[in-house]
């Protein structure tokens, strides 16, 4: 509904190599953001993953995640 507030929560396991990263948030109607985008926030969160002595990482990231939502009163 128009004007309805929704709270979104997520948990993401960051199986990523050392480096600087950012998260962009978007809300859109379809499978992609090309049409019917409602909101978009570039660099909503910027963070670094530091190297550790026991860390060995090669290749693409694996980012399993869960999302949940609830309507706000």
Q: Does any domain span residue 57?
A: no
Burial profile 29-53: b = 16 or more Cβ within 10 angstroms, e = fewer:
eeeeeeeeeeeeeeeeeeeeeeeee
Domains in the chain, number = 1
Q: Does any domain span residue 14?
A: yes
Range of the domain at 27: 6-52+62-71
Other CB atoms within 10 A of residue 65 CB: 9
The pLDDT score that the predictor gives to residue 26 is 87
| Per-residue pLDDT band at 11 (split at 50, 70, 90) | confident
Q: Does any domain span residue 33?
A: yes
Reading phi first (left if > 0) and then psi (alpha if -120 to 50, else beta), residue 29 is in: alpha
Whole-model pTM: value is 0.62
Residues 36-64 have pLDDT tens digits of: 888 889 999 999 988 878 766 666 677 77
């Amino acid at each position: 509904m128009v004007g309805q507030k929704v709270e979104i929560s997520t948990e993401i396991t960051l199986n990523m190599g050392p480096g600087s990263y950012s998260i962009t948030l978007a809300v859109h109607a379809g499978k992609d953001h090309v049409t019917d985008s409602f909101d978009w926030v570039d660099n909503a969160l910027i963070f670094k993953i530091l190297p550790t002595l026991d860390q060995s990482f090669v290749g693409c990231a694996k980012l399993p995640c869960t999302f949940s939502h609830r309507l706000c009163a």
